[in-house]
Amino acid sequence: MTNSRVDNPGEHAAIRLLLGGTAVGKSDVALRMAERCGVEIVSIDSMQVYRRMDIGTAKPTEAERARVRHHLIDLFEPWESCTAARFVPLADGAIAEIRGRGRIPLLVAGTPFYLMALLYGLFEGPSADPDFRAAMRERAAAEGSAALHAELAAIDPAAAGKIHRNDLFRIARALEVHHRTGRPISDHQRQWGGPPRYAVRMVGLRRAPQEHAHRINARVRAMFDAGWVDEVRGLIGGEGSAAPGLSTQARQALGYSQILRHLAGELTLEEAIEQTKINTRQFAKSQRTWFRRFPEATWIEVGADETADVTAQCAEEAFRKDDVVRGCR
């Protein structure tokens, strides 16, 4: 576990952290908070780091990024691999740069694993086993990632409960760690119990489950209506195209694998849409499980008809009232 502590000059320098599941509305709230409070947004999202994957990752628009400065967006090409190990130093750099200008970072977290790695450090597991990984890719192609997820659930239910069944990269890594060490990866990750690397104030947004599911379904449909299929088609190119395509990590983005299967003729468009809705709802459920690791967070129950401005005001008040700052010891 790499858990190098970050200099903590005091409570005034605490970063702000806005938690929330996909489609809960945290991006709109963060944008309004940034405009009202002068904070800068740091995206803790494993897929918004990829260029041209805009619609499917619900990336802030150019107009929104012109209004408020965003960090850690559009860092890599879609054919490149961005792991938590690559992401954390970039996040550290963004936070330091913002603080260096006397500003406060507002972390907007949608990828719990990346957030945990940033706050508590990375588990330094065994080195990669190319032969094992190749075998996992072959099995995934033949049996599907769900079969590998079921295998992981049998040997490490704790890890399987936190990894989406379509997240082949993390499934394979968890199986690889067990293969190389004889211990579940969740045993190693229990080291995530020490003090965080930053002083941080946490506020979370959540909605009633039925209303949240409705928002997810509506957003997925809107993304397809906005040209999501064409976006993916442009990333992979047509027959004979020299386009590099998508890396293993980028393919794990919600919906992209379903669209790729649609473009390959394996799914109808409606089937791709419905599967994406289901997977996104399942991912939101796994996010809620991860966020239980932060009992000190102040949670705001967002009403169905509540505007982003009202929620942002509530979040600002919650940040001001939070007197508990967890920092390095």
115 and 61 in a single domain? The answer is yes
Higher pLDDT, residue 11 or 48: 48
Q: Are 216 and 280 in contact (CB under 8 A)?
A: yes
User: Is residue 16 a part of any domain in this protein?
Assistant: yes
Q: Check residue 320 and give its pLDDT.
A: 86
For the cut 70, the answer to whether the pLDDT of residue 245 exceeds it is: yes
Q: For residue 250, is it within any domain?
A: no
Shared domain check, 141 and 54? no
Give the CATH number for residue 162.
1.10.20.140
Q: Which of 25-39, 81-95, 173-187, 211-225 has the lowest mean pLDDT?
A: 173-187
**Of residues 114, 13, 108, the one with CA closest to residue 325:** 13
Residues 202 and 80 in one domain: yes
- Mean pLDDT along residues 245-262: 91
Say whether both 31 and 168 belong to one domain.
Answer: no
Separation CA 256–CA 50 (nearest Å): 13
User: In terms of domains, do 201 and 168 share one?
Assistant: no
Do 51 and 200 belong together in one domain?
yes
Whether 170 maps to a domain, the answer reads yes
Res. 236: pLDDT tops 50: yes
Residues 159 and 206 in one domain: no
Residue positions counted in the chain? 329
Q: What is the pTM of this model?
A: 0.79
Mean pLDDT, the chain, rounded, equals: 87
Q: What is the pLDDT of residues 53-85, one digit of tens each?
A: 999 999 999 999 999 999 999 999 999 999 888
Do 151 and 175 meet the contact criterion of CB atoms below 8 Å apart?
A: yes
Residue 226 placed within a domain: no
pLDDT of residue 2: 47
For residue 167, being part of any structural domain is answered with yes
Sheet-wide strand order for 70-71: 70-71, 40-44, 105-109, 15-20, 200-206, 298-301
Calpha distance 284→22 (Å, rounded): 6
Residue 280: the pLDDT is: 96
Do residues 203 and 144 both lie within one domain? no
Rounded Cα distance between 170 and 2, Å, is 18
Specify if 301 maps to a domain: yes
- Which range, of 202-211, 244-253, 282-291, averages the lowest pLDDT? 244-253
Domain CATH number, residue 65: 3.40.50.300
**50: pLDDT strictly greater than 60:** yes
Ramachandran region, residue 58 (left: φ > 0; alpha: ψ -120 to 50; beta: rest)? left
238 or 295, greater pLDDT:
295
Residue 57 sits in the same domain as residue 180: no
> pLDDT value at position 324?
36
Same domain for 180 and 88: no
* Other CB atoms within 10 Å distance of the CB of residue 302: 25
Residue at 101 is within a domain: yes
Is the domain of 291 the same as that of 174?
no
The number of domains in the chain is 2
- Statement to judge: residues 199 and 70 lie in one domain: yes
| 80/24 Cα distance (integer angstroms) | 29
Give the pLDDT band of residue 166 (cuts 50, 70, 90): confident
DSSP state of 227: T
Domain containing 292: what range?
A: 11-123+195-213+283-321
Mean pLDDT of 233-257: 79
Instruction: Using the structure block, give the residue that is written with the tokens 């489609």.
Output: 23
CB 111 within 8 A of CB 44: yes
Range from 23-32, 98-107, 122-131, 170-179 carrying the lowest mean pLDDT = 122-131
In a domain, 116, yes or no: yes
pLDDT at 16 over 90: yes
